[in-house]
Structure 1
């Protein structure tokens, strides 16, 4: 255990909601990026609660302006690197492809964690590799152990500026039923928290947590897990403030 009191060593503030257009994804993405630029203009780092995973794209655009290409560690059941989703280029299924195409991602230091479930085709994996991502699949955590997976994470991102993006569906539906695209065979809450604690050794410049759907949540199981993940993200960032 590491003794870190994040609210003692850092000023942590709730910046409120980002108002965005409910009618245009393109306008909403621009508005999120502009507000993120404003909130971090004095050197602050941003932890954002979604929303769906589309928000990762404008947040990465904002963070990369200040830090250059980022090591992106993406916790999710799905790759989110499709070319389009229902023929749309900017959706919750495409943010990391757009980010890679725009040069926002360090192609030597980025990683998906928790990937599982069916693919649309074999090309999903080959395309993803060309975008610079390595993968720790959910079954590999079970097969090789959590410690080995965390060692791979440390080796992959090194001392790069790092952005952490968490889709709550990285957790098994037993631990996070309140999400829109659940997949069986995911991480446990305990495993997820240990992954996030590993970032205390790294330079995390921004983070998001997305896809919590309260309407589908039972007994606030998902909300409780998400709140703990957010606390550990803030603690990791405070550890290297």
Structure 2
């Protein structure tokens, strides 16, 4: 029965990508829950342009656990995604091959080992020529992902959507947590300090020194109140100017959204972005060189009616669409092979 379900994924024509299962032939609630009902990596011969990868890890959280289940919750919610994205006027899964590469199995009892595992596997995926859409897990995983990105691209521009700065030094003496990845990344030279931005930050801090330390690392801050007062278009234009044509990594903590739009997360803060604002900002990055992205901190145990997972699935869909559009545009720009 499983084979009959998976066989309804559209077969590639010539060199065309293999797309998602046809929901007009197989109900959305049937069959395995890959992201957007896309083929597994083994169903594409181990080749893909964008690998959707889960990291079920939440040992680095400082408050409510549960994000280890986030990746599969996003996959389940993504059953409702459709193959044409009208907001970006693109059929992302026809432009380039996107496949669900499963999960990176990490040690839940040893943060250091988990970080090393994520870095190693991410490096292998990038070495294959694919970009990554990573589904967390907690924000600790951003550090090993950025290590892999910097090895391939050099220091990258970072666009960080989050209620929190995540540039603190330690928690309980621990250097690797979900609140410290971007301080470690800054210390390790993984980031292009001319193109770093937090978006959606808000809420109380431990002290003004938090902001001073963050500024010394080169981060610019667009608070959730800034988005509300200035509007999405002005904010997005500012971000594009800061990023330029640098290799861009986008890291999205789902708690950037107001708890009304994302209750299923570990450290919610009032006064956040709407899901519409987040999606519109991402859509405005079409001219940026998006090399990979992550989406973290979805904790389905605190979700209500899958509100958070649905918002997360659409966020990952927009980011994946950006990547496939850029891949397709780069291929079209390649010179045609000379005839013998």
TM-score, reference length from structure 2: 0.70
Are 1:238 and 2:324 an aligned pair?
A: yes
Alignment of 1:77-88 (within 5 A): 77-88=163-174
Structure 2, unmatched stretches of 5+, are: 1-86, 328-340
Are 1:111 and 2:197 an aligned pair?
A: yes
Is residue 168–residue 226 contact of structure 1 (8 Å, CA) maintained in 2?
Answer: yes
Which residue is equivalent to 1:162? 248
Misfit runs of 4+, over 3 Å = none
Are 1:135 and 2:216 an aligned pair?
A: no
Secondary structure of the equivalent of 2:193? coil
Structure-1 separation of matches of 2:217 and 2:175: 16
How large is the RMSD of aligned CA atoms in angstroms?
A: 0.8
Match of 2:263 among 170, 174, 177: 177
Is residue 88–residue 283 contact of structure 2 (8 Å, CA) maintained in 1?
Answer: no
Match of 1:64 among 150, 161, 164: 150
Larger radius of gyration: 2
Secondary structure of the equivalent of 2:101? coil
Alignment of 1:181-200 (within 5 A): 181-200=267-286
| Alignment deviations for residues 204-225 of structure 1 (CA, whole Å, 9 cap, x no partner) | 1110000000000000000000
TM-score, reference length from structure 1: 0.98
Are 1:39 and 2:125 an aligned pair?
A: yes
Is residue 71–residue 107 contact of structure 1 (8 Å, CA) maintained in 2?
Answer: yes
Is residue 236–residue 285 contact of structure 2 (8 Å, CA) maintained in 1?
Answer: no
Structure-2 separation of matches of 1:161 and 1:83: 26
Is residue 4–residue 235 contact of structure 1 (8 Å, CA) maintained in 2?
Answer: yes
Structure 1, unmatched stretches of 5+, are: none
Secondary structure of the equivalent of 2:88? coil
Aligned length: 241
Which residue is equivalent to 1:51? 137
